[in-house]
């Protein structure tokens, strides 16, 4: 059955490899089970949004389960999905904006806006508009996206581990110089163990690194065993408010959700596809089915009670282990479902702990740094000899980590790319869709200041 569904032999993989890759991907994504509800349930002033933590957690797991399984079964790609970071912060912004406009239960209006954007995603995907954008991007820009995402993954890993800190006024970031702190030592031990095993080509190096860091955390007393079983106690199914969602002043929110998810997903699909070696002849197989899965995931997420669902760059961790088919994504999806019943256990590994400087998670973050290092090797595939390709590619790979946002990083390259081509008389080399995307990016920044 697995061979028929996922073509394992064709992709030179096994059931065991795919399921383990799915487990590793899940462990690196597990933080979203706890982080997403925490963000959605409290606004930036520390006040309740009206959406409870338990309800948001239930929605997070259900949306990740359904979207990841759809991705695996429909597109046969090793890409897991869940409510996206960035989109969830914007969701809170929408709740605050709607509430400030005098609308009661602003979170219901925000969920309705997410539902509307998800339905528009679905229509665009069914008409293959989003896939056409992926196919129109040049190989150099595709590889630059992979490199940029790799740098972003590594940066996220070091920041979430408490190694990279917010800098004092006048700086960008700072390095944690207190190397004796438990989370710093656990991170570097996990990183070194994973790196050494990776160099020695030990199968499952990333997983063993996570296990080693978990053991260190338990021995140090930073990770505490609090039980195995637990379930969320409330839900927010089908809590919509169509009456206010279409108010003129809220249309911009729909546009921004559309923009964020469209280009975050396109960037992630390309990045993971390049890392897995799945892009052939400049095309990602089953790309449109992947985009349909992403759109359906957002609709399901809104119906369940969470913000926009998108493809996760952490899927690269499972790909680096050897995941090559949708069985990896399906495995991750079912683990999200199982996590509802094993909340304390998942929290122990993926939840991290609190320090004086804020929350840290040094257990799974070394995996992100290692995977980032693996993805940067795609830099050699960029056509640096052609400056009209190399300069926009450089802006993308630099822009993604520095802006801490895939879509904003893409904008730097996608706007300059057609301008340079036109300026040197080579405008006919690229598709009209590339010009259209550049115009969309420009309009996003000119007209929608949110």
Express each pLDDT in 178-192 by its tens digit: 888 999 999 999 999
Q: DSSP character for 72?
A: I
Nearest to 315 by CA among 17, 82, 137, 35: 82
Answer yes or no: is pLDDT of 173 > 70: yes
Express each pLDDT in 97-109 by its tens digit: 888 888 888 999 9
Distance of CA 20 to CAs 16, 154, 375, Å?
A: 6, 22, 20
Range among 220-224, 301-305, 402-406 rated most confident = 301-305
Mean predicted confidence (pLDDT) in 54-64: 91
The strand ranges marked E within 85-208 are 164-166, 173-175
The pLDDT score that the predictor gives to residue 450 is: 52
Express each pLDDT in 385-423 by its tens digit: 999 999 999 999 999 889 887 778 888 999 999 999 999
Spans of all domains in the chain: 2-375, 379-447
Burial of residue 3 (number of CB atoms within 10 Å: 0-12, 13-18, 19+): exposed
| SS percent in the chain: helix, strand, coil, step 5 | 70, 5, 25
The pLDDT score that the predictor gives to residue 46 is: 62
Contact status, residue 370 vs residue 194, Cβ threshold 8 Å = yes
**Phi/psi at 275 (5° precision):** -65, -35
Q: Greater confidence, 271 or 113?
A: 113
Mean predicted confidence (pLDDT) in 57-61: 92
- Which pLDDT band holds residue 359 (cuts at 50, 70, 90)? confident
The pLDDT score that the predictor gives to residue 166 is: 81
Contact status, residue 260 vs residue 311, Cβ threshold 8 Å = no
How far apart are alpha carbons 232 and 24 in whole angstroms? 24
The pLDDT score that the predictor gives to residue 69 is: 96
Q: Which two tokens stand for residue 343?
A: 């909340």
Can you give the pTM of this predicted structure?
Answer: 0.73
């Amino acid at each position: 059955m697995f061979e028929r569904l996922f073509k394992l032999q064709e992709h030179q993989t096994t059931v065991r490899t795919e399921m383990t890759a799915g487990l590793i991907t899940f462990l690196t994504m597990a933080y979203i089970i706890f982080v997403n509800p925490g963000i959605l349930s409290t606004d930036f002033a520390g006040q309740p949004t009206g959406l409870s933590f338990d309800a948001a957690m239930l929605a997070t797991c259900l949306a990740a389960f359904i979207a990841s399984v759809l991705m695996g079964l429909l597109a046969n790609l090793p890409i897991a999905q869940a409510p996206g970071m960035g989109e969830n912060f914007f969701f809170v912004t929408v709740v605050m904006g709607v509430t400030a406009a005098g609308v009661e239960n602003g979170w219901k209006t925000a969920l309705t806006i997410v539902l509307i954007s998800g339905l528009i995603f679905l229509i665009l995907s069914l008409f293959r508009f989003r896939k056409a954008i992926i196919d129109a991007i040049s190989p150099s820009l595709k590889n630059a996206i992979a490199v940029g995402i790799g740098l972003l993954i590594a940066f996220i890993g070091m920041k979430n581990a408490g190694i990279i800190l917010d800098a004092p006024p006048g700086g960008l970031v700072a390095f944690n110089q207190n190397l004796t702190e438990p989370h710093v030592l656990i991170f570097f031990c996990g990183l070194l163990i994973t790196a050494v095993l990776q160099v020695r080509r030990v199968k499952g190096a990333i997983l063993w690194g996570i296990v080693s860091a978990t053991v260190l955390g338990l021995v140090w007393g930073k990770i505490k065993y609090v039980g195995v079983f637990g379930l969320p106690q409330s839900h927010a199914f089908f809590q919509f408010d169509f009456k206010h969602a279409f108010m003129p002043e809220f249309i911009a929110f729909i546009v921004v959700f559309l923009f964020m998810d469209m280009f975050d997903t396109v960037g992630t699909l390309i990045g993971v596809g390049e890392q897995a070696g799945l892009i052939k002849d400049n095309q990602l197989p089953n790309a449109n089915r992947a985009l349909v899965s992403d759109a359906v995931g957002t609709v399901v997420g809104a119906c369940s009670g969470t913000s926009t669902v998108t493809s996760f760059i952490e899927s690269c961790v499972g790909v680096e282990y050897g995941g090559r088919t949708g069985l990896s994504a399906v495995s991750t999806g079912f683990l999200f479902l199982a996590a509802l019943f094993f909340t304390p256990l998942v929290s122990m590994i993926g939840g991290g702990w609190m320090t004086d400087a804020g929350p840290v998670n040094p257990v799974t973050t070394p995996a992100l740094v290692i995977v980032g290092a693996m993805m940067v090797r795609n830099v050699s595939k960029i056509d640096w000899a052609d400056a009209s390709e190399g300069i926009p590619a450089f802006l993308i790979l630099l822009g993604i980590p520095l802006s801490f946002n895939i879509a904003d990083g893409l904008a730097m390259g996608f706007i300059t790319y057609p301008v340079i081509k036109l300026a040197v008389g080579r405008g006919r080399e690229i598709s009209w869709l590339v010009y259209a995307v550049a115009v969309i990016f420009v309009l996003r920044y000119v007209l929608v200041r949110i």
